[in-house]
């Protein structure tokens, strides 16, 4: 050791010392754990936010559908002349409730934009909104709607709602890839292209 430089010898000794190696491993592990935990936490919070939004959207759109179906059925049913005024008051009350619920549905638009990044999800939301407008136009039409006219529009609303919720489930990756692959084969669930 007479020919070794003390600085080189100390550095070489330090690099081979088990305590130093353990400290370096611990430090690297702590840094990696911090960054991975932070990333996992953000991912978990985003997924929780998406799930809550999907639940609110499902609840709000189903309420819209039920209100629209009630109003359409109410308009299509024949009524006795002495009950016309009562029926009109009931219909106006349901229309007020519908407008309130429709406002809540529109308020979800920004949350859908912020939570889901796929363009199909946003276009599905707009398609569902357009179909609700078609049904409400049937409610407000001057001619009494026949079930043969509004039932296809109701079926289209339910189909679009199912498609939108399916797209949200796919984007959130709530289902394993095998289940998503099976859903792609099911003609009732065309949720992925």
Q: Is 164 exposed, middle or buried (0-12, 13-18, 19+ CB in 10 A)?
A: buried
Average pLDDT, the chain: 83
User: Tokens at residue 175, please?
Assistant: 């289902």
pLDDT at 193: 42
pLDDT at 187: 66
pLDDT at 164: 92
Mean pLDDT lowest among 33-42, 61-70, 126-135: 33-42
Query: What does DSSP assign to residue 81?
Result: G
User: Tokens at residue 16, please?
Assistant: 């081979």
Mean pLDDT computed over 7-28: 75
- Where are the domains positioned within the chain? 49-185
- Residues in the chain, overall count: 193
Task: With residue 78 as reference, give the H or E element that holds it.
Answer: none
Note whether 183 and 192 are within 8 A (CB): yes
Question: Which is higher by pLDDT, 164 or 182?
Answer: 164
Please work out, in degrees rounded to the nearest 5, the angle formed at the alpha carbon of residue 82 by the alpha carbons of 78 and 84.
50
Mean pLDDT computed over 148-173: 88
pLDDT at 192: 45
Q: How far is CA 47 from CA 85, 125, 143, 170, in A?
A: 49, 19, 46, 12
131, pLDDT greater than 90: yes
Percentage of the chain beyond pLDDT 70 is 88
Residues 40, 42: Cα–Cα separation, whole Å = 5
**pTM to 2 decimals?**
0.72
186, pLDDT greater than 80: no
pLDDT at 2: 52
Percentage of the chain beyond pLDDT 90 is 34
DSSP-assigned states of every residue in 141-190: -SSPPPHHHHHHHHHHHHHHHHHHHHHHHHHHT-S-HHHHHHHHH-TT--
Q: Is 111 exposed, middle or buried (0-12, 13-18, 19+ CB in 10 A)?
A: middle
């Amino acid at each position: 050791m007479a020919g070794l430089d003390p600085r080189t010898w100390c550095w070489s000794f330090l690099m081979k010392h088990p305590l130093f190696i353990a400290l370096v491993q611990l430090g690297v592990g702590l840094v990696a754990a911090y960054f991975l935990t932070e990333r996992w936490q953000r991912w978990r919070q985003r997924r929780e936010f998406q799930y809550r939004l999907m639940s609110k959207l499902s609840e709000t759109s189903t309420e819209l559908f039920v209100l629209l179906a009630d109003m359409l059925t109410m308009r299509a049913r024949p009524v006795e002349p002495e009950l016309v005024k009562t029926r009109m008051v009931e219909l106006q009350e349901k229309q007020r409730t519908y407008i309130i619920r429709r406002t809540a549905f529109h308020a979800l638009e920004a949350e859908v934009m912020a939570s889901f990044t796929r363009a199909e999800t946003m276009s599905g939301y707009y398609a569902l909104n357009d179909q609700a407008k078609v049904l409400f136009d049937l409610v407000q039409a001057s001619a009494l709607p026949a079930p043969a006219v509004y039932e296809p529009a109701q079926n289209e609303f339910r189909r679009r709602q199912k498609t939108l919720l399916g797209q949200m489930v796919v984007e959130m990756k709530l289902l394993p890839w095998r289940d998503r692959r099976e859903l792609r084969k099911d003609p009732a669930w065309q949720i992925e292209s």
